[in-house]
Chain A
Amino acid sequence: GAGVSQTPSNKVTEKGKYVELRCDPISGHTALYWYRQSLGQGPEFLIYFQGTGAADDSGLPNDRFFAVRPEGSVSTLKIQRTERGDSAMYLCASSPGGAGANVLTFGAGSRLTVL
């Protein structure tokens, strides 16, 4: 697509529920990133995919968080047993290979609220 698309744009859930957030990167971009942004802060890195594999998941806060990218395009961030502290904006970004590999293009984000 023309840009990075994230769905849903807003998600309200109850503590303990399971949540999936979806990211559709720019067509042809091989690298995909998930970030989390709390109110008043800059984005924090969660996980990075190069193709289908998670090349770096060092930013995932705990084992309740998991992400997949089975066909090397769309990615899903999965959060189990949500907690109120998971409330944040979840941002997805993609980047191409080659000379532009280090330049990020972000989606509009998915705002998660855990009640």
Chain B
Amino acid sequence: GIQVEQSPPDLILQEGANSTLRCNFSDSVNNLQWFHQNPWGQLINLFYIPSGTKQNGRLSATTVATERYSLLYISSSQTTDSGVYFCAPGKGSARQLTFGSGTQLTVLP
């Protein structure tokens, strides 16, 4: 199966700072999703981004499928951004997604 490596594993930021989270994967993919898991365990889909760049408010994501990586940018971070960010690449349909181990983000007030 696909190997997924997310970095950094842990990140602590002051409110207002910017950050970049990285996801490397071992094989070609045609499906990639980023999720945020809040401290209560709820997983929220942030982006479906098998290639290219998307933006949603303070968040944006870029996937370079040919080089097997994806980046998630968080600008002007807020305490509510805290939680775990998961990258999940896959071949084909959603059931073939492989989740990484996540980046634990803590935003301090």
Q: Does A79 contact B (CB under 8 A)?
A: no
Interchain CB contact under 8 A, B94 and A43: no
Q: Number of B interface residues, CB 8 Å?
A: 22
| Chain A residues whose C-beta falls within 8 Å of the C-beta of B44 in the assembled complex | 106
In the complex, chain B residues whose CB is within 8 Å of the CB of A45: 95-97
Interface residues on A, range: 20 to 34
Q: Is A109's CB under 8 angstroms from B94's CB?
A: no
Segment with Cβ contacts to B, from A13-21, A64-72, A96-104: A96-104
Task: Evaluate contact between A33 and B94: CB separation under 8 angstroms.
Answer: yes
* Residue B51 interfacial (CB < 8 Å): no
B residues at A contact (CB < 8 Å) = 4, 31, 33, 35, 40-45, 48, 86, 88, 93-97, 99-102
Q: A104-B33, A106-B42 are in contact. List 17 more A-B contacts (CB 8 A).
A: A31-B94, A41-B101, A42-B86, A42-B99, A44-B99, A45-B95, A48-B95, A56-B95, A91-B43, A102-B31, A103-B33, A104-B45, A104-B94, A104-B97, A106-B44, A106-B45, A108-B40
